[in-house]
Amino acid sequence: MEPQDKQSRQMIPLAIVVAGALIAGAIYFGGKPSSSASLTQNTKTGQAAPVGEVAPVSAKDHVLGNANTAKVVLIEYSDLECPFCKVFHNTIHQLMDTYKNGELAVVFRQFPIAQLHSKAAKEAEASECAAELGGNEGFWKFLDGVFATTNSNNSLDPAELPVIAGDIGLDVTAFNTCLSSGKYAKLIADGVTAAVKAGAQGTPYSVLVTKSGKKSPVNGAQPFATVKAQIDALLK
């Protein structure tokens, strides 16, 4: 490894921490809720932040449904150790079960909050390794496995990650090699930056986007009925 590459990799965890600190600072100085938990983990009733710059869906994204043909795409910025994200993950599956005619697609984007969840960034890397080895289906199965296993708030034992990979049929040796390489660390750090640009001030943060480009934020783990009402309004 070249010295410059090594230095860049060493800076990635710092970049995630700095991004998290900027989020907390922006919320604090903007007069948002002051409790330490609500700075980075959105409750069901949090106020929606203004939608910022949301990158278009691309081949690099992890998608449920068909984002090219769906009338509404829900783009979620999420942290694998956030308890509200764990709840909202079930809501995502409910929504996909409800809109079975292709009206909705869901895109998952990485937003680990390092100042609360030091394990979340590595778990995010693990999910990218799952995508590399198992494709889009492997990614979502791995995500399901992590959320089903963790009790959230930094509680998942890292030793469980290859177990989950094996349970969904991935090559565990290849998975461990991928994860230990750190090859996706920069991608995760870039994801944090992109989430902040999109207006995320906590997790989960989602944006509903129509084919015409209209954007509607979903702040926090809003209940199924609330998100469905937003989607239905956009479908009209």
| Mean pLDDT, each 10-residue run in order, the chain (236 residues) | 46 44 37 33 52 94 97 98 98 97 97 96 98 98 98 97 98 98 98 96 96 95 98 96
Q: Is 153 helix (H, G, I), strand (E, B) or coil?
A: coil
pLDDT computed for residue 150 by the predictor: 97
Token pair of 64 as six digits: 């449920």
The position carrying tokens 């984002």 is 67
Q: Is 21 helix (H, G, I), strand (E, B) or coil?
A: helix
Cα 59–Cα 96–Cα 121 angle in degrees, nearest 5: 55
Sign of the alpha-carbon torsion through 147, 150, 156, 162? negative
How far, in Å, are 91, 110, 144, 167, 232 from residue 71 at the CA level? 19, 23, 25, 34, 11
pLDDT computed for residue 58 by the predictor: 95
Q: How many helices (H) and strands (E) does the chain have?
A: 8, 5
Q: Which domains does the chain have, with CATH numbers?
A: 3-235 (3.40.30.10)
pLDDT computed for residue 42 by the predictor: 54
